[in-house]
Structure 1
Amino acid sequence: MITAIALVLIGFFLLVWSADLLVDNASEFAHQVGVSTFIVGIIIVGFGTSAPEMFVSAMAALENKGNLALGNALGSNITNIGLVLGSAAMVRALPVTQTTARIDIPIVIVTGAVAIYMVLDGLLSNMDGVILLALLFSYLAWSAGHSKGAGGEPAISDIVADPHELDLSRIDHPRGKSAGSALLFTLFSIILLMIASKMLVQGAITIAIYLGVGELIIGLTIVAVGTSLPELAAAISAARKGVHDMIIGNIIGSNIFNTLGVLGITGVIRATEIDTGALWRDFPVMFVFTIFMFIFALTKGNFSRGEGTILVIGYFGYIGYLVVTSLI
């Protein structure tokens, strides 16, 4: 058990570090070889928002633990809204733009509804995974076209949410690093992500066996919270500094990538029979949290401290229910 806990903790640390390393070096390599800022932005956002979740879920699927991957995706989405957004709003009320309230959040709702519809038959199939990934790329293409406006290349912040408030001027490009060395570091970070994911998944499986709970529950709780801790720390820091756009954009972008990208990759790698608990409990909970986010954003034009408190209480109530029912 101690070894399993150590694997999980080390895996979390390596995931966060290697994901940041991947973002920095992949963007640097793209710049060195003359790739457009749009593609660089997709690298930053795509890997920056959900690299830990994507690699953990892919590794879980390869280990034939599809419900661990499913729990990771659903749990991360619930954690993002209930814990991350709620905690940030408790620190300071977060203003919401009309575009966010009327376009961005509804897109999150639609992607969640599509995912629920696809698994109603109790199976996340290979075809479901392909469709979800196709929807993700379609969303990115639509966002790119929508953001071009009067012409020219779209701004990164207009394409899709950036989880770490990273734009091209803020990326840490090591001075003097060549394209070759940037590529090597990129490959190294991918390998490290795979190793960290393997450690985390193996540790989580061992803990699940030791506690006698299902892999879905471990994915929804330990794994999901762990992969969301960097976002939580960043959100609270941003709330204190009044950088509210970064917080909301982080959650929207991350949840879209988790729903379409993480579930999509899981389905493509291995068809997964959905745990019945996910069908009647976790998918609906994710959807309800998203609806509450939409209502709070639309009615007052901000997320108040009171609404943040509601989200946090709802989140811990949900986690408490999972823990109690799984151990009884």
Structure 2
Amino acid sequence: MVLVAIIAIVLSSLILIKSADWVVDSTRRLGKDTKIGNFALASILLALATSLPELFVGISSALSGQPTLSLGNLLGANIADIALVLGVVGVFGGVIVLRTHQDEKIKFTMQRNLLIALFAGLLPIVLLWDRSLSRVDGVLLLLFYVGYVSGFFQKRVFSNAEVDAGSKGSFWTRLLEGIETGKGGVRGDLLRFLAGILVLIVSARVIIFAASFIATSLGVPLILVGLSILAIGTTLPEIAFAYRSIKENAPNLALGTAVGSAVTNASLILGVVVLISPITVAARREYLLAAITFALVVGIFWLLIRTGLKINRLEAGVLLLVYIAFIALEWLGFRLF
């Protein structure tokens, strides 16, 4: 059975990569049709779409009375969204370069979202100080996400970043107009986008189930499965999508999805999970290493963005090594206190 699980992981990974091609192509066309920049589009829509595996895992674990599994998954996925995704893409896909006619504006937008991602990632840790996440905490997390999205979809935010100066109306207005009129092939692009996301999610779920089966067969603790195997598995859509984005010379999509997914996981998804089933942890040391690692990863990424609009292979390697070290310490049972 373990051999069957390994074969399932390999085949699903191939399907995952192919479906990422569909999503990249359709997203770029949607961005062009609606005159919304790639980074802005990826930070909201793509981040939400590629975070659906985490959402499904979270709801399932909450309904089954095991929300701690989802907490571990989301904490691990947030680290993976930046360190693993950009690390793997940078090392194996080549230098990640942001080059547009509005580099400084894109840089400002990226730095702004990194600060939001850092705050979003640390907010659950602060709320966990009493070793529990209540439904009130869940409401606060959801309100944070609503504020994040509403701020992003104000026209002035897009005009300061990547939207064309001559465009009129909000993103939703232009998208709905395109669907109603069929202008610019919006309907077809949207269908391809949704189909690609669906295949991404299904193939990722197969990988998650197979990896979890292998882990439980080996007697791996549940919290460790969430922090490592599930976190990596639910981040596979982001990895596949980011890799294809770099190969298609659309780095804004890769970076926007990675940062946006971190915000989505820490606020929207965790908020939903906590509303369904409040979380209680035995001791702060169970999540302290993950919290410090997340802050370290975002800090490193912040420095890379501040020093230039690119991440070379060496810098991506540093992010990847930090992630590998985190996983190794978790599996070795290391605790700070």
Both structures adopt the same fold (TM-score exceeding 0.5): yes
Partner of 1:122: 131
Deviation at 1:284, TM superposition (A): 1.7
Aligned to 1:63: 64
Alpha-carbon contact 1:16-1:52 (below 8 Å) kept? no
CA distance in 1, matches of 2:127, 2:97: 33
Tell me, yes or no, if structure 1 residue 216 matches structure 2 residue 211: no
**Does 2:99 match 1:92?**
no
Matches within 5 A, 1:154-193: 154-155=170-171, 168=186, 171-173=189-191
Q: Are 1:245 and 2:261 matched, yes or no?
A: no
SS in 2 for 1:171: helix
Number of paired residues?
284
Change (3 A) 1:251 1:142: same
Distance 1:42 1:279 in 2: 26
Structure 1 residues 317 and 237: CA distance shift in structure 2, 3 A: same
Residue 286 (str. 1) matches residue 294 (str. 2): yes
Quick one: which amino acid aligns to residue 136 of structure 2? M
Aligned-partner Cα distance in 1 for 2:88–2:42:
28
Kept in 2: contact 1:128–1:264 (CA 8 A): yes
Asked whether the equivalents of residues 43 and 260 of structure 2 are also in contact (C-alpha less than 8 Å), the reply is no
Residue aligning to 2:307? 299
Rounded to whole Å, the distance in 2 between the matches of 1:42 and 1:290 is 16
Report the TM-score when normalising by structure 1: 0.71
TM-score, length of structure 2 as denominator length? 0.70
Whole-angstrom CA distance in 2 between matches of 1:249 and 1:119: 27
- Note if contact 1:50-1:257 (Cα within 8 Å) is conserved in structure 2: yes
1:141 paired residue number = 150
TM-aligned CA distance change 1:85 to 1:270, over 3 Å = same
AA aligned to 2:242 is A
CA–CA separation in structure 2 for the residues paired with 1:270 and 1:94: 42
Note the alpha carbon deviations across 1:70-120, whole angstroms, 9 max, x for none.
111111111121111112222213337322343111111111222221111
Take 1:201 and 1:99, find their aligned partners in 2: how far apart are those partners?
36
CA contact (8 A) 2:50 2:237 kept: no
Q: Distance in 2 between matches of 1:294 and 1:169?
A: 37
Give the partner amino acid of 1:103.
R
Deviation at 1:302, TM superposition (A): 2.2
Tell me, in whole angstroms, the C-alpha distance in 2 between the residues paired with 1:138 and 1:302: 29
Gaps of 5+ in 1: 24-36, 157-166, 175-181
Amino acid aligned to 2:268: G
Tell me which amino acid in the other structure corresponds to 2:266: T
Structure 1 pair 103–121 and aligned structure 2 pair: CA distance change class (3 A): same
Amino acid at match of 1:303: I
Distance 1:274 1:207, change over 3 A: farther
Displacement after TM superposition at 1:206 (Å): 6.0
Deviation at 1:210, TM superposition (A): 4.1
Please say which of residues 139-148 and 110-119 is displaced more in the overlay. Answer: 139-148
**Counterparts of 2:275 and 2:244, CA distance in 1:** 36
Equivalent position of 1:311 in the other structure: 319
**How far apart, CA to CA, are the structure 2 residues paired with 1:305 and 1:202?**
32
Matched, 1:256 2:263: yes
CA RMSD in angstroms, aligned pairs only:
4.0
Q: 1:5 to 1:262 in 2, by over 3 A?
A: farther
| 1:305 positional shift | 1.8
Give the alignment partner of residue 229 of structure 1, picking from 236, 239, 248: 236
Q: For 2:208 and 2:60, how far apart are their aligned partners in 1?
A: 7
- Cα deviation, residue 239, structure 1: 2.0
Distance 1:86 1:324, change over 3 A: same
Partner residue, 1:273: 280
2:88–2:320 Cα contact (<8 Å) kept: yes
Contact 2:16-2:240 within 8 A present in 1 as well: no
Instruction: Confirm or deny: 8 A CA contact 1:105 1:252 kept in the other structure.
Output: yes
**Percent sequence identity over aligned pairs:** 25
In 2, distance between residues paired with 1:306 and 1:43? 29
CA distance change for structure 1 residues 203 and 234 in 2, over 3 Å: closer, same or farther? closer
Q: Measured at CA, do residues 316 and 126 of structure 1 come closer, stay the same or move farther in structure 2, by a change above 3 Å?
A: same
1:51 counterpart letter in structure 2: L
